[in-house]
Amino acid sequence: MTLMQWFIFFLALQVIHFLGTWKLYKKAGRQAWEALVPVYNAVILMKIIGRPWWWTILLFIPIVNLIMFPVIWVETARSFGKNTTTDTVLVIVTLGFYLYYLNYVENITYKTERSLVPKSASGEWVSSILFAVVAATIVHTYVMQPFTIPTGSLERTLLIGDFLFVSKFHYGARTPMTTVSFPMVHDTIPGVGIKSYLDKPQLPYFRLPGFQDVKRSDIVVFSWPVDTVNRFYGLDDGKYYHKPIDKKSNYVKRAVGLPGDSLKVVDGKVFVNNEPLELPDRAQLQYSYQGTSKGGGFNAKNLYDQYKITNLRFYNATQFATQAITDENAERFKNHPNVASLEKLIATPDQKDPSIFPKGNASLGNRDQIASVYIPKKGATTPISTENLPLYKRLIEIYEGEEMGEPREISVNGNQVLLNGEPLSEYTFKQDYYWMMGDNRHNSEDSRFWGFVPENHIVGKPVFIWFSWDSNGKGIMEKIRWERLFTTVGGNGKPVSYFLYFIIALVGYFVISKVIKNKKAKS
């Protein structure tokens, strides 16, 4: 929906609210016109139902408002003596239109001294759970979101089984675009296996101000730009299904290219604006190596402890390969008494991989050799021709067209590129774009395979590892990576665990709370 359509929809809601409540406002001692004025009518309604004015703010927060509207409907009915379970059910199942019946048919009286305290233990539990969900949804959406590392694309910096807190406020929280969604889940309802959201209506993209921009080499969580599903929850009809931006799968990679940069990959190394990419101390690039042994096998624990090798595989009696080892560890592994030879697997420039962006004959090269590519910047204008069209076609049609509510179609007539039937010789980008890559260069599905990440797909910045679980550990105590608990994601040098400080603070909190409680009891 466009902004104008949303404005009309908002005005329509005000009219619906006025027609269904104006008599109730009068019975509560207010004026009928107060039920019509946008926002003001909500503030007055909070006074009528005896709730704080700031509840009005919650009515305008996407997803949270889906919880708050039924609460307000029920509270309004109860303010006029409709407290039974039947009344509550009728208000909810009629989506609030039960208030029309109360407004025009029922002879009801406003309860000026209505108690706001739940009359039963179950009612108190429901109220507590409801507002816990509201608070958690606000934190999850606008402040901090938990995230789990599912793959090894950033292995050694972030490990499979790391549980992160992802900051939404560093880059500015992206407000929800999907308006109807089950709270606190992503694209599926756990245990049920069905979509957690409705595709429409959609809000326009908007991001709250952040206090920093995405920096080169930052680790970033983002919505996977090309996430369409051709097998959605058991449906296998060969079609692809559009997913809203904020419901696309979340990926975590390193931002190696920023808006306006020119980027290339040479022999597996990234160059930005013809300079080698600078990485923080904790980044450990990994590549595939193959080698031969002297006839024996390897001890898995020793491989991990000494060389951080987790996936070494033999494909005959003496030949082996691994997808994830740093150059430094590889040099040390060459001196292993059972290693006869070891070499890095780097694709040569003459090998063109059709799976590399933008696919097919237009491929930029292979995983180790990417031709120089310009990363679009907001406001920048670039020539468009049949030669470079594959690079920017999806950006113009989908990221800046369909997903922004402006349907577009690009076609080619001879040597002429057409946008919605009109000649297109240059294009000015409407948003910034990024190039994301994993540190595990040979085991990462990243921008080399699907291209640019639009700014409106940026989710947040991982800042904290609060838990880490190693599925290869033998016992529970060994499975927990204690040295990674409560460590920061960014920074230089070896990560420092703040777990002990957390335990001390937690114990201190309970001790102080107990002392204060005892003093109050004595007084």
Residues 252 and 149: beta-carbon distance below 8 Å: yes
Which residue carries 């305290």 as its tokens? Answer: 117
Sheet holding 262-266, edge to edge: 275-276, 269-272, 262-266, 369-374, 365-366
Backbone angles phi, psi at 155, to 5 degrees: -50, 140
108-131 as b/e: b if 16+ CB within 10 A: bebbeeeeeeeeeeeeeeeeeeee
From 153, 288, 293, 447, the catalytic residue: 153
| 517-to-302, 511, 521 alpha-carbon distances in Å | 53, 10, 6
Backbone angles phi, psi at 383, to 5 degrees: -65, 145
Q: How far is the C-alpha of 15 from the C-alpha of 36, rounded, in Å?
A: 7
CA atoms within 13 A on the CB side of 30: 25
Q: How far is the C-alpha of 451 from the C-alpha of 119, rounded, in Å?
A: 58
Q: How far is the C-alpha of 373 from the C-alpha of 395, rounded, in Å?
A: 14
Alpha helix (H) ranges present in 264-307? 300-307
CB contact set of 206 (below 8 Å; sequence gap of 6+)? 174, 175
Q: Is 249 a catalytic residue?
A: no
Q: How far is the C-alpha of 349 from the C-alpha of 346, rounded, in Å?
A: 9
Compute how many other C-beta atoms are within 10 angstroms of the C-beta atom of residue 23: 16
Q: How far is the C-alpha of 403 from the C-alpha of 203, rounded, in Å?
A: 11
Residue 371 tokens read as 């031709």
| 355-to-11, 140, 256, 361, 449 alpha-carbon distances in Å | 49, 36, 20, 10, 6
Q: Is 253 a catalytic residue?
A: yes
What pairs with residue 343 in β-bridges? 290
Alpha helix (H) ranges present in 146-296? none
Residues 262 and 435: beta-carbon distance below 8 Å: no
Q: How far is the C-alpha of 522 from the C-alpha of 49, rounded, in Å?
A: 38
From 243, 247, 253, 430, the catalytic residue: 253
Q: How far is the C-alpha of 182 from the C-alpha of 67, rounded, in Å?
A: 10
- Sign of the alpha-carbon torsion through 447, 449, 454, 459: negative
422-431 as b/e: b if 16+ CB within 10 A: eebeebebbb
| Catalytic positions | 153, 253
